[in-house]
């Protein structure tokens, strides 16, 4: 009989509810980018949490939303809902003390899922009165039977250990799929592109929140340095001017912030070169999306 536990765990919820932040704190390492803007995560990302005999393979998903305005929105929602099939545990994140229409929509989606289901009440550090969690938990229990409801503040590391313990307990007995030192299945090129995109969203989220994407054109490891050339794509000429900034000041700032995180990721010195290019209407054009990596 197998003595180790291993399984896939889907993290789902509406946009900006804290899925990526929770994953990063569970792993103790940043692999999923975050920003204050909804829909920062655009495709499913695996994060592997291995502890002794247990291995949880988390699937961080884009936020599920009902308003599908562009092809990019549909792409993200399709990725998220696809993750609901073929996993061993579904974790639905709701913001502690708040229930929105989109939360209700996600809860209805996972009510039909067979197997263990959790609810995580996230961002509880933002609640002045934690007693507000009790009626929310009672309301959730009235809707469907969940195996666990866990209040968590990932930023304060409150409840994260309890969440991990609950996840490990509900995984099936199975051989581990990843080696002990693996933390994701994504390439360094993908993670670097995501870091650059995160800096664009954090610095320019109000001006171009969802019109930017990043493509790594070259990635060269040399003896003492890694040289990276990346293109930032936007949809309009005006957005290009915003990303570049006055005399290139904004692009320089984005590059400096990104390079620091990339060096931490790669654990070596990095030379990062950024260019800004326009691909008109790419977020609503199937061909452009494919060429930019959204297959």
Neighbours of 29 (CB within 10 A): 14
> Which string of b and e fits 159-198 if b means at least 16 CB within 10 Å?
bbeebbebbbebbeeeebebeeeebbebeeebbbbbbbbb
- How far is residue 129's CA from residue 272's CA, in Å, rounded to a whole number? 46
Written as six digits, the tokens of 275 are 């260019």
**Confidence (pLDDT) at 84:** 83
Whole-structure pTM value: 0.92
**Confidence (pLDDT) at 131:** 82
Which ranges of the chain does DSSP label H, i.e. alpha helix? 19-27, 71-82, 101-111, 133-143, 160-169, 188-204, 237-244, 249-266, 286-291
- How far is residue 273's CA from residue 271's CA, in Å, rounded to a whole number? 7
CATH, domain range 188-291? 3.30.300.20
Q: What are the per-10-residue average pLDDT scores of the chain (295 residues)?
A: 91 92 94 86 93 96 82 87 88 88 86 87 88 84 82 91 95 95 94 96 86 96 95 96 96 97 95 97 93 88
Nearest alpha carbon to residue 17 among 86, 130, 82, 105: 105
For domain 5-169, the question of CATH label 3.40.50.300 is answered with yes
CATH 3.40.50.300 placement within the chain = 5-169
Rg (CA), the chain: 20
CATH 3.30.300.20 placement within the chain = 188-291
């Amino acid at each position: 009989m197998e003595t180790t536990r291993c399984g896939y765990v889907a993290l789902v919820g509406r946009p900006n509810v804290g899925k990526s932040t929770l994953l990063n704190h569970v792993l103790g390492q940043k692999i999923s980018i975050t920003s204050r803007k909804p829909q920062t995560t655009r495709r499913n990302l695996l994060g592997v949490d291995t502890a002794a005999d247990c291995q949880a393979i988390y699937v961080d998903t884009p936020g599920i939303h009902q308003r599908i305005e562009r092809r990019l929105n549909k792409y993200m929602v399709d990725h998220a809902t696809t993750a609901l099939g073929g996993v061993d545990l579904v974790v639905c994140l709701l913001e502690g003390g708040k229930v929105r229409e989109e939360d209700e929509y996600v809860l209805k989606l996972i009510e039909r899922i067979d197997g263990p289901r959790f609810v995580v009440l996230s961002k509880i550090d933002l609640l002045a009165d934690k007693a507000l969690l009790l009626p929310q938990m009672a309301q959730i229990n009235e809707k469907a039977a969940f195996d666990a409801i866990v209040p968590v503040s990932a930023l304060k590391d409150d409840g994260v250990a309890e969440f991990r313990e609950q996840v490990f307990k509900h995984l099936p007995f199975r051989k581990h799929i990843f080696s002990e030192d693996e933390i994701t299945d994504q390439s360094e090129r993908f993670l670097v592109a995501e870091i650059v995109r995160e800096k664009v969203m954090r610095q320019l989220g109000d001006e171009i929140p969802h019109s930017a994407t990043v493509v790594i054109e070259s990635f060269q490891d040399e003896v003492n340095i890694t040289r990276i050339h990346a293109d930032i794509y936007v949809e309009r000429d005006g957005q290009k001017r915003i990303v570049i900034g006055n005399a290139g000041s904004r692009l320089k700032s984005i590059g400096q912030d990104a390079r620091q995180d990339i060096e931490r990721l790669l654990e070596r010195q990095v030379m990062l070169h950024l260019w800004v290019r326009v691909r008109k209407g790419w977020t609503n054009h199937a061909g452009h999306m494919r060429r930019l990596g959204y297959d």
